[in-house]
Structure 1
Amino acid sequence: MAYPPDFLLDRLLYRDGLMLVIDKPAGLPVHGGPGGGENLENYFDALRFGLPRLPALAHRLDRDTSGCLVLGRHPKALRKLGKLFSEGQVEKTYWAVTKGVPEKLSGTIDAPLKKETRGSGWRVVIAEDGQSAVTTYRTLKQKDGFAFIEAKPKTGRTHQIRVHLASIGAPILGDPQYGELSPEERAGPMMLHARRLVVPISKNKEPVTVEAPPPDAMAEKLKELGVDV
């Protein structure tokens, strides 16, 4: 395994009887998929904390996206979390560093998305017959043709923020697929980070708010843009 078996203990951001929130590292898929391979689920045994079952994914993040990821600790919790995510009750905030500054510094992108097979792979495209996809965004900082953007997806489509930001002339640095980027701009780690989640897990309590610090490469780029992180 690429990481120590218990490495997620150091990346645990929140824990209660129903859920865990971890800071997912970029570059590690959340699950093995058809081909198997190294993935985040390989390390869930260290997160039992006395329960007989392993925790399980309540939602997904792309392999190259870092940040807040919610796990349900038992089937009842997973059902509840699944309902919250599917109904859009979980507030998700992402940070992105983009090459290019949106013409409108803030707004709403309402563009349906569709997964399209190309050769042996696939990509997500904007298409009239796609699934509804909505992202609100605001530009927090811009400098030298780069932008620091806060994005809030109102739907949970695959590659949604990546495709939406690329569509307004602000592809995410390090994105291997979308937008007009040079080979050098695609080569580094992808600058998309699940910064904050607000989860209304209990009816009688305030929603749980969890934040993940940006990974080192992103923090460095933000400092270059004059952002104090």
Structure 2
Amino acid sequence: MSDAYNPPQDPLDVLHLDHQLIVVNKPAGLLSVPGKGEHLADCLIARVQAAFADALLIHRLDRDTSGVMVFALTRHAQRHIGLQFEKRQTKKTYVARVFGLMKEKTGTVDLPLIVDWPNRPLQHVNYETGKQAITDWKVVKYEEIATRVRLFPKTGRSHQLRVHMLAIGHPILGDPFYATVEARDAPRMMLHAEELRLRHPEGGQGQRFRAVCPF
């Protein structure tokens, strides 16, 4: 990751709004929450709160990941949806372009992850101290030197999809932390949170929010 932080200035892309929650399409390159220092103050939660003062954080996406992010507009909604994330009751679908041609059409990565302390914020596979992390994947199509896949994380560890794809030899194209040299040549990190399914905090009805993949 370079030191220069120049987040995109796209207007807020609201996918859904009601009196309990707001769902937005986060652009790649924008922090979900502020970083340390004034130069990292611009972030999605600040932009959402500028338009909706009551907005509350529930979850986050990595800076270089785009896609569906939900914010609560009440404390009840924040608790209700936060608990769904905690209990793994939400369903998340990501689209990624990974380096190389994957041999199998579908598979599961089950590798425990933990922060790599000397190299924070990087994460790594660790069988002794790592926490369970599971990702299902499915090939969408093959490209010349890459594969387009859908990723279905069953757990929500930090950098989970990025480290899991690297671990099976197919790093995500353009990943500033984990991409191998040959996989770095991309206009952005090719990872997008395409769909999020959850239960609405009022009444518990299933909801599906979707943001079209931009790559």
| TM-score of the aligned structures, taking structure 2 as reference length | 0.88
Give yes or no for contact 1:101–1:169 (8 Å, CA) kept in 2: no
Structure-2 separation of matches of 1:206 and 1:40: 27
Listed one character per residue, the Cα deviations across residues 109-161 of structure 1 (whole Å, up to 9, x for unaligned) are 11000101235x43110001211100000011012121000001011111000
* 1:122-133 correspondence to structure 2 within 5 Å: 122-128=121-127, 129-133=129-133
Offset, 1:100: 1.1
Aligned to 2:43: 39
Structure-2 separation of matches of 1:180 and 1:103: 19
Q: Give the percent of matched residue pairs that are identical in Structure 1 and Structure 2.
A: 35
> Number of residue pairs matched?
207
Structure-2 separation of matches of 1:54 and 1:43: 12
Residue identity matched to 2:209: V
Aligned to 1:199: 198
Residue identity matched to 1:207: G
Aligned to 1:161: 161
Matched, 1:146 2:146: yes
Unaligned runs of 5+ in 1: 219-229
Offset, 1:210: 0.9
| TM-score of the aligned structures, taking structure 1 as reference length | 0.83
Structure-1 separation of matches of 2:60 and 2:14: 17
Structure-1 separation of matches of 2:167 and 2:184: 20
Aligned partner of residue 163 in structure 1, secondary structure? helix
Unaligned runs of 5+ in 2: 1-5
User: Could you say if the C-alpha distance between residues 139 and 3 of structure 1 is closer, same or farther in structure 2, counting changes exceeding 3 Å?
Assistant: closer
Give yes or no for contact 1:167–1:179 (8 Å, CA) kept in 2: no
Structure-2 separation of matches of 1:116 and 1:205: 38
Listed one character per residue, the Cα deviations across residues 40-81 of structure 1 (whole Å, up to 9, x for unaligned) are 222123432xxxx42022111000000000101111110111
* 1:165-180 correspondence to structure 2 within 5 Å: 165-180=165-180
* 1:18-37 correspondence to structure 2 within 5 Å: 18-36=20-38, 37=40
Offset, 1:208: 0.9
Aligned to 1:226: none
Give yes or no for contact 1:99–1:145 (8 Å, CA) kept in 2: yes
Matched, 1:114 2:114: yes
Aligned to 1:12: 14
User: Could you say if the C-alpha distance between residues 56 and 100 of structure 1 is closer, same or farther in structure 2, counting changes exceeding 3 Å?
Assistant: same
Aligned partner of residue 7 in structure 1, secondary structure? coil
Structure-1 separation of matches of 2:205 and 2:76: 20
Structure-1 separation of matches of 2:154 and 2:177: 22
Offset, 1:96: 0.2
- Which deviates more, 83-92 or 34-43? 34-43
User: Could you say if the C-alpha distance between residues 183 and 104 of structure 1 is closer, same or farther in structure 2, counting changes exceeding 3 Å?
Assistant: closer
